[in-house]
Amino acid sequence: PPRPRRRRRTRRRWKSALTGLRRFRVLGWLLLAAGLTALLLRALDGLFGK
């Protein structure tokens, strides 16, 4: 059977991963917003271009 030490290490890794995700959450949202704005600008350019 696996030792509890491995479980503790995995738990620590999960915690670090969660903290990393929390830190990069803002960057992810900014990237999504930038992508959406770019798509909207392209759509507006296409509509006005026509």
pLDDT confidence of residue 7 = 56
- Give tens-digit pLDDT for 1-50: 666 665 555 667 777 887 877 778 888 999 999 999 999 999 999 988 76
pTM for the full model?
Answer: 0.47
Q: Where are the domains of the chain?
A: 25-50
Q: How many CB atoms lie within 10 A of CB 1?
A: 3
10-49 per-residue burial string, b: 16 or more CB within 10 A, e: under 16:
eeeeeeeeeeeeeeeeeeeeeeeeeeeeeeeeeeeeeeee
pLDDT confidence of residue 44 = 93
Tell how far CA 38 is from the center of its chain. 18
